Amino acid sequence: MMTLTRREFGRLGALGIAARFAPVVQAQDATQRNGRKTGYAIIGLGRIADEFMRGVQLTTNSSITGLVSGHRDKADRIAAQYGVPAGSIYNYDNFDEIVHNPAIDAVYVALPNSMHAEYTIRAARAGKHVLCEKPMCTSVDDADAMIDECKKANVKLMIAYRGYYEPTNLRAVQLIRDGALGQVQAIQSALGFNIAAGEWRLNKKLAGGGPLYDVGIYCLNACRCLTGEEPSQIAAFASTIDRDGRFDEVEENVTWNMKFPSGIMASCATSYGADTAGYFKVYGSKGWLQVDQAFAREGLHLRAELQSARLDEPNPARDPSHFQAEAEHFSHCVQNGLEPKSPGEEGLRDMQCIDQIYRSAGIAS
């Protein structure tokens, strides 16, 4: 298993229509286990963690009850904002002490990719449920270990694929399942951005790889979700065009094609060298649909040309509503003994596909 200490990490880089398709949270969700909300310890206090915590504040069934950080001053400031007591602030050395804190039911892992496996496993061994950011980890072996340890500890593991809980993405999937597009033939998807020098994502030990792990995984997961199938064939290419020092350890661009058992073809691209507004477009025998900003946290817009109708459905929801839906779902599962919609096995399947993409593109994992 690849592990990395926080010290090493620090050195390396210290609409009404949309609402109809939102995940429905039943009234009993607000009846929390033992009469209280599901308490989360946040592991890693970076940008994504801030958005998740703001989302938790909007829920009826979740709360922030612990923080884990290597920077006590930052943790103290955030603790005051969310009402976390000093005794529920941990660092990376005493993290395992959360086992003694009954206010913490679950953890949210918002660390660099290569640290996901270690802290998921440590949390599971402490008896805490785990909501882990994507990508799940950086290897198939780590994914297997995370799933096995959570099952052994009888705790739930969910991977934070926001699209599974976001109304516009759910609307697209439902249109396909209802047959509005007829027989799906092909899918196109892309997502990328021009990464700044010095980002931890450019360090292979931290990130596991380049843009495929970071943002391309959205395209991969979307194609799997839209088809409801697993790819039977994958062919990929990778390139590095900008020789400015940013890509000494990870690739700059990856494109890949997938063929699914039904015959559906998918073409995807991801980049750290160009801004590519995330989208997917699905072509079927009865028309097409496209979601622009499909993987963003606001500004999603579904358009479709179908035999039966023309659709134009912007989604006005804004950050951090995606994180609210994500937290509400996982807390509901924790409180009611249910399996999350995006369990560890879902993350494992993406890791298996990424492994195939890298091998096809000739990239050493």
List C-alpha distances in Å: 7 to 11, 87, 122, 200.
Answer: 6, 22, 18, 14
CA atoms within 13 A on the CB side of 19: 3
Domain assignment present for residue 346? The answer is no
Question: Does 13 share its domain with 156?
Answer: yes
Question: Does 113 share its domain with 207?
Answer: no
DSSP summary character for residue 278: E
The pTM of the full predicted model, rounded to 2 decimals, is 0.90
Catalytically active residues, by annotation: 134, 218
Question: Does 134 share its domain with 225?
Answer: no
What CATH number is associated with residue 64?
3.40.50.720
Question: Whole-angstrom Cα distance, residue 328 to residue 334?
Answer: 10
pLDDT averaged over consecutive 10-residue blocks of the chain (365 residues)?
A: 44 34 36 73 97 97 98 98 98 98 98 98 98 98 98 98 96 98 98 97 97 98 98 98 97 98 98 95 98 95 96 90 96 98 98 98 88
Domain assignment present for residue 347? The answer is no
Question: Does 90 share its domain with 202?
Answer: no
Question: Does 106 share its domain with 14?
Answer: yes
- How large is the angle between the packed helices 344-361 and 217-227, nearest 10 degrees? 120
Q: What is the pLDDT of residue 358?
A: 98
Question: Whole-angstrom Cα distance, residue 77 to residue 64?
Answer: 14
Domain assignment present for residue 140? The answer is yes
List C-alpha distances in Å: 362 to 51, 62, 113, 243, 306.
Answer: 36, 44, 21, 19, 40
What CATH number is associated with residue 193?
3.30.360.10
Q: What is the pLDDT of residue 34?
A: 56
Question: Does 214 share its domain with 310?
Answer: yes
List C-alpha distances in Å: 342 to 40, 94, 113, 347.
Answer: 18, 29, 18, 8
Phi and psi at residue 18, in whole multiples of 5°? -70, -35
Question: Does 238 share its domain with 278?
Answer: yes
Question: Does 117 share its domain with 221?
Answer: no
Range of the domain at 10: 6-161+322-340
Domain assignment present for residue 345? The answer is no
Question: Does 136 share its domain with 195?
Answer: no
Question: Does 42 share its domain with 98?
Answer: yes
Domain assignment present for residue 82? The answer is yes
Domain assignment present for residue 251? The answer is yes
Q: What is the pLDDT of residue 13?
A: 38
Q: What is the pLDDT of residue 35?
A: 66
85-106 as b/e: b if 16+ CB within 10 A: eeebbbebeebeebeebebbbb
For residue 142 the two structure tokens come to 């780590």
Q: What is the pLDDT of residue 22?
A: 37
Question: Does 149 share its domain with 239?
Answer: no
H-assigned helices in 126-166 = 140-152
Asked whether the beta carbons of 193 and 215 are under 8 A apart, the reply is yes
Question: Does 152 share its domain with 204?
Answer: no
Q: How many domains does the chain have?
A: 2
For residue 300 the two structure tokens come to 């999603």
Q: Is 275 exposed, middle or buried (0-12, 13-18, 19+ CB in 10 A)?
A: exposed
Domain assignment present for residue 173? The answer is yes
Domain assignment present for residue 354? The answer is no
